[in-house]
């Protein structure tokens, strides 16, 4: 069975630009969460979407936004990129409503902002 997939794998952007990252959850999973992982740190929660609705938001500025599509895939958008946005962006999926069940992560998108 296919796991969580993310695209692109790597991305290089310039300060001030905008970026869109994509995620496809495991088949049957309806909840998608996004995390930012800076080198040497644990992942930080950005958003959770379930049934196309935002169910949780972490402490990130409004430059970060996301959405979930009818097929449960998701996009993360970041506007007005800053150097500090350089990180590994991780998508995780889980069973519907299963907040305390394991989340399964994709391979991540490495974003470099120059």
Partner 1 sequence: EDQVTQSPEALRLQEGESSSLNCSYTVSGLRGLFWYRQDPGKGPEFLFTLYSAGEEKEKERLKATLTKKESFLHITAPKPEDSATYLCAATTGTASKLTFGTGTRLQVTL
Near partner 1 by CB under 8 A, which window of 12-20, 60-68, 69-77, 103-111? Answer: 103-111
Least spacing, CB of residue 111 vs partner 1, in Å: 13
Which of 45, 60, 64, 73 binds partner 1 (CB under 8 A)? It is 45
Residues 82-101 that bind partner 1 (CB under 8 A): 88, 90, 92, 94, 97-101
Sheet of 19-24, strands arranged across? 5-7, 19-24, 74-78, 64-68
Q: How far apart are CB 55 and partner 1 at their closest, in Å? A: 6
Distance CA 76, CA 85 (A): 13
Rounded to whole angstroms, how far apart are CA atoms 38 and 74?
21
């Amino acid at each position: 069975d296919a796991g969580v997939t993310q695209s692109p794998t790597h991305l290089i952007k310039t300060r001030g630009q905008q970026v869109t990252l994509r995620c496809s959850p495991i088949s049957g999973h309806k909840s998608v969460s996004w995390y930012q992982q800076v080198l040497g740190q644990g992942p930080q929660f950005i958003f959770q979407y379930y049934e196309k609705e935002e169910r949780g938001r972490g402490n990130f500025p409004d430059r970060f936004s996301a959405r979930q599509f009818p097929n449960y895939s998701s996009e993360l958008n970041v506007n007005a990129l800053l150097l500090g946005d350089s990180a590994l962006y991780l998508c995780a999926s889980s069973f519907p409503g299963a907040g305390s069940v394991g989340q399964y992560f994709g391979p991540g998108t490495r974003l470099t902002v120059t």
